[in-house]
């Protein structure tokens, strides 16, 4: 048993997921590690080893709506939820990836260049996920459609205007 207030490792690193009606599905396992450390045969400890987190900043006034959208509308489950910061974690160390929503005093209003960064949310059934989000009030700027590489994408925005996409990977094989 750890120190008070600390959760066991397996409790800290549960993957958030899009909730669907009925049976809960686990997201597909990532094909490889998100963070591998130095590449094989490369012994540069100063080399960038991968991506560990993405922070999405908003104003204090806009944070409650953004938080509610990611938790209530998208159905993501936070592993840390504080008054001005919420965190979602996929995977386990050392390859976990975190999405952090937080308040920053230098951010005001909606995203001024929403197409600059797009978040792709992995789903197994894009049509079912899009239908659930539409029922929750999400408007898609691009409904589910096939991509030339074999997968499917559907595009929408969060309350701050950040562009998000549902992404259903191409079938394996």
**Domains along the chain with CATH numbers:** 14-20+50-104 (3.30.720), 116-173 (3.10.180.10)
Q: Is 107 exposed, middle or buried (0-12, 13-18, 19+ CB in 10 A)?
A: middle
What is the pLDDT at residue 93? Answer: 84
What is the pLDDT at residue 38? Answer: 52
Q: Show the low-confidence residues of the chain (pLDDT under 50).
A: 1-17, 19-35
Cα–Cα distance measured from residue 52 to residue 99, given in angstroms and rounded to the nearest whole number: 9
Phi, psi of 69 (to 5 degrees): -65, -50
Query: pTM of the full predicted structure?
Result: 0.74
Q: Tell me which residue of 38, 11, 3, 155 sits closest to 92, measured CA to CA.
A: 11
What is the pLDDT at residue 144? Answer: 98
What is the pLDDT at residue 45? Answer: 87
What is the pLDDT at residue 163? Answer: 98
CA dihedral angle for residue 127, residue 132, residue 138, residue 141, rounded to 10 degrees: 0
What is the pLDDT at residue 37? Answer: 52
Return the DSSP state at 134: H
């Amino acid at each position: 048993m750890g120190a008070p207030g600390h959760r066991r490792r397996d409790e800290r690193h549960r993957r958030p997921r899009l909730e669907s009606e009925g049976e809960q599905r686990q997201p597909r396992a990532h094909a490889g590690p998100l963070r591998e450390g130095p590449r094989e045969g490369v012994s540069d400890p100063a080399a960038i080893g991968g991506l560990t987190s993405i922070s999405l900043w908003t104003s204090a006034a806009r944070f409650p709506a953004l938080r509610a959208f990611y938790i209530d509308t998208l159905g993501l489950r936070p592993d840390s939820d504080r008054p001005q910061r919420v965190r979602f974690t996929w995977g386990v160390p050392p390859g976990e990836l975190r999405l952090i929503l937080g308040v920053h005093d230098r951010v005001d209003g909606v995203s001024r260049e929403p197409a600059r960064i797009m978040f792709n949310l992995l789903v197994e059934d894009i049509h079912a996920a899009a239908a659930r989000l539409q029922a929750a009030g999400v408007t898609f700027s691009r409904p589910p459609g096939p991509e030339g590489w074999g997968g499917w994408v559907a595009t929408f925005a969060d309350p701050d205007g950040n562009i998000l996409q549902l992404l259903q990977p191409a079938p394996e094989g």
